[in-house]
A and B are shown apart, each in its own frame.
Chain A
Amino acid sequence: MNPLSRTAFWSIFSIAAGGAALLLAASLVAQPSPSGETQKLTASAIQIERIDPPEDLLVPEAFRVSTYENVIREVTKTNKFQHVYRNGDRTAADVPDLVILHMVPHAFKEGSQKKREVTTVAGSTSIKMKVQFTSRDGKVLLEKDLEGKVRFFGENLRATYDIAKKVAAVVNDTF
């Protein structure tokens, strides 16, 4: 290797190494520090409202009920609240720091289990919902769009279990 090419090599190497170091530093700076996490919400109880689809979206009652019941089960399992109240429960009226969970579906597609299992590409069932946590006075504390789906194995109603798990994950992250 002649001296010129050796110099060129070291120049290129130093530029590349410097760039890599800069990228590493930038990625470290961009990572949120543990102290920078959003502050978690606190509440002793949650009330879960019934699924309330808009008038132009027809969701079968079985899907609405299954979503509601699955969400109650999964939120209860998180153990984040002393009480999980159902829609209309009068005893929730006395709870001072009650959080209310609203679920509004905005898209629904009912597929077919047979089609899913035979074709593996068609027949998926999905339900998309806006999930909103509010205080008793209606102040929105958190809002997320979630999707529950069943793509291959399982009955159509399994999409409601999928979305309930995602709601529970949001509860775990938020409270």
Chain B
Amino acid sequence: MKTTSAQIGAVVSNQREIAWRSPRLAGLLVAAIAVVLVSRASPVFSQQPATAQAPQSTSIPDVECVIGLETFKPNTKGTLSLLPSGLEFATGKNKADITTASIQDIFTGEESRQDVSGTAGTVAKLAIPYGGGRIVSLFSHGVELLTVDYVDSNGGFHGTIFVLPPGKATELRNQLIAQGANVTTHVEPPEPKEQKP
């Protein structure tokens, strides 16, 4: 069977047409996939604001209240909860509230705390012979400080400092801002760099 020049020309033009169309087909395919993905993802996006608006209640145990709550001694450990009305710090017997409306400002900052600390820890470190206590002092962990400035019913200024696990203070701050707490723009000093001695 002989192949005529006309047949060869038809085959070549078909190949060119396919080659010209294939990017368009691929583009259509990608667009179709994108439409499917967007249609599946849209309910997720639409749910997010609904969950953000829902009243949240976050409880963080083992939070240290360094100072600032009059009903608690300094360095009391308890549970810090975010309620729809604001913050609540509670121990087994006692609790104190900071309403969102009374909050003037919220600050967060990072610090490090010794793994072995307190009076007993310090005595134990001193008791280790040959300066072994210094090696124990090398072990520390990161914490985050949450400082909340608020006013009482007479307009008196109060400040409270909580020590939380890393990341939790920023999370609480953002949630309080979402509840309507006042926050100003801060110029925080650079964190002191922890240098290995």
| Residues of chain A whose beta carbon lies under 8 Å from any beta carbon of chain B | 50, 58-62, 64-66, 68-70, 73, 85-91, 110-115, 117-119, 122, 153, 155-157
- Cβ contacts A to B, 29 pairs, < 8 Å: A58-B188, A59-B189, A60-B107, A60-B188, A61-B105, A61-B147, A61-B186, A62-B66, A65-B67, A65-B147, A65-B159, A69-B68, A69-B158, A69-B159, A73-B74, A86-B152, A86-B157, A89-B152, A110-B189, A111-B192, A112-B112, A114-B137, A114-B138, A115-B194, A115-B195, A115-B197, A117-B125, A118-B137, A118-B138
By the criterion CB–CB under 8 Å, are B134 and A65 in contact? no
How many Å from the CB of B123 to the closest CB on chain A?
10
Which residues B138-197 have CB closer than 8 A to chain A?
A: 138, 140, 145, 147, 149, 151-152, 154-161, 186-189, 192, 194-195, 197
How many Å from the CB of A125 to the closest CB on chain B?
9
Q: Give which listed residue, B67, B188, B189, contacts A70 with CB less than 8 A.
A: B67
| Residues of chain B whose beta carbon lies under 8 Å from any beta carbon of chain A | 66-68, 74, 105, 107, 109, 111-114, 117, 122, 125, 133-134, 137-138, 140, 145, 147, 149, 151-152, 154-161, 186-189, 192, 194-195, 197
Distance A39 CA – B156 CA, assembled complex (angstroms): 31
Q: Give which listed residue, A58, A62, A119, contacts B187 with CB less than 8 A.
A: A58
By the criterion CB–CB under 8 Å, are A69 and B67 in contact? yes
Most chain B CB neighbours (cut-off 10 Å) among A59, A69, A85:
A69
Distance A115 CA – B194 CA, assembled complex (angstroms): 8
Distance A28 CA – B74 CA, assembled complex (angstroms): 46
By the criterion CB–CB under 8 Å, are A86 and B137 in contact? no
By the criterion CB–CB under 8 Å, are A117 and B134 in contact? yes
- Chain A residues with Cβ below 8 Å from B138 are 114, 118
- Chain A residues with Cβ below 8 Å from B117 are 155
By the criterion CB–CB under 8 Å, are B151 and A117 in contact? no
By the criterion CB–CB under 8 Å, are A62 and B134 in contact? no
By the criterion CB–CB under 8 Å, are B158 and A86 in contact? yes
Distance A113 CA – B121 CA, assembled complex (angstroms): 14
By the criterion CB–CB under 8 Å, are A113 and B149 in contact? no
By the criterion CB–CB under 8 Å, are A89 and B155 in contact? yes
How many Å from the CB of A73 to the closest CB on chain B?
8
Distance A63 CA – B125 CA, assembled complex (angstroms): 27
Q: Give which listed residue, B155, B156, B161, B197, contacts A65 with CB less than 8 A.
A: B161
By the criterion CB–CB under 8 Å, are B156 and A118 in contact? no
Distance A144 CA – B189 CA, assembled complex (angstroms): 26
Distance A61 CA – B66 CA, assembled complex (angstroms): 13
Shortest beta-carbon contacts, A-B, top 4: A65-B159, A86-B156, A117-B137, A58-B189
Most chain A CB neighbours (cut-off 10 Å) among B111, B112, B117, B140:
B111
Distance A156 CA – B105 CA, assembled complex (angstroms): 22
Contacts beyond the supplied A65-B147, A114-B112: 8 A-B pairs with Cβ under 8 Å? A61-B109, A62-B107, A69-B68, A86-B152, A86-B157, A112-B195, A115-B197, A117-B133
Most chain A CB neighbours (cut-off 10 Å) among B122, B188, B192:
B192
Distance A149 CA – B160 CA, assembled complex (angstroms): 21
By the criterion CB–CB under 8 Å, are A60 and B187 in contact? no
- Chain A residues with Cβ below 8 Å from B194 are 112, 114-115
- Chain A residues with Cβ below 8 Å from B147 are 61-62, 65
By the criterion CB–CB under 8 Å, are A87 and B156 in contact? yes
Distance A88 CA – B158 CA, assembled complex (angstroms): 10
